[in-house]
């Protein structure tokens, strides 16, 4: 295990939730491995889902509050996207990531639109 230091790189992972699923399992496994080498921050887009995978207590988890929108509204998707983008920009304020990683197309688009100073971006798609 690498000793803690102020010079450790920061890995930021963006995903919807850590409830049950293949993406969620991969995010948890990656975060638990990488905490041995760098600071890890996981940002979850859904605060209403339970975190079902064990995480090292040194992993920082940030949650975006779920916005309830009338699903009959024609612009529901756009309103939700803009809300999440605004919330991400608030969460990212003061964070500088060396590597920013997101899973699935929706999270990838959000991450690329957000104001996060990162040295490297990695976008992963799952089907």
User: Whole-model pTM?
Assistant: 0.88
Nearest to 56 by CA among 29, 74, 75: 29
Characterize 45-68 residue by residue with b for buried, 16 or more Cβ atoms within 10 angstroms of its Cβ, and e for exposed.
Answer: beeebeeebebeeebbebbbeeee
pLDDT tens by residue, 41-80: 999 999 999 999 999 999 999 999 988 877 788 888 899 9
Is residue 4's pLDDT more than 60?
Answer: no
The answer to whether residues 39 and 48 touch, using CB atoms and an 8 Å cutoff, is: no
5 pLDDT tier (thresholds 50, 70, 90): low
37 pLDDT tier (thresholds 50, 70, 90): very high
pLDDT tens by residue, 94-109: 898 999 999 888 999 9
């Amino acid at each position: 295990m690498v000793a803690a230091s102020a010079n450790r790189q920061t890995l930021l992972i963006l995903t919807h939730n850590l409830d049950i699923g293949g993406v969620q399992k991969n995010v948890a496994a990656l975060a638990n491995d990488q905490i041995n080498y760098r600071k890890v921050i996981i940002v979850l887009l859904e605060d209403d889902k339970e975190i079902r995978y064990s995480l090292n207590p040194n992993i920082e988890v940030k949650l975006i509050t779920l916005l309830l929108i009338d699903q009959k509204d024609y612009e529901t998707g756009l309103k939700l996207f803009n809300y999440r983008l605004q919330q991400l920009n608030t969460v990212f304020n003061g964070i500088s990531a060396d590597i920013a990683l997101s899973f699935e197309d929706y999270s990838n688009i959000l991450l690329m639109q957000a104001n996060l100073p990162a040295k490297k971006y990695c976008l992963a798609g799952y089907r």
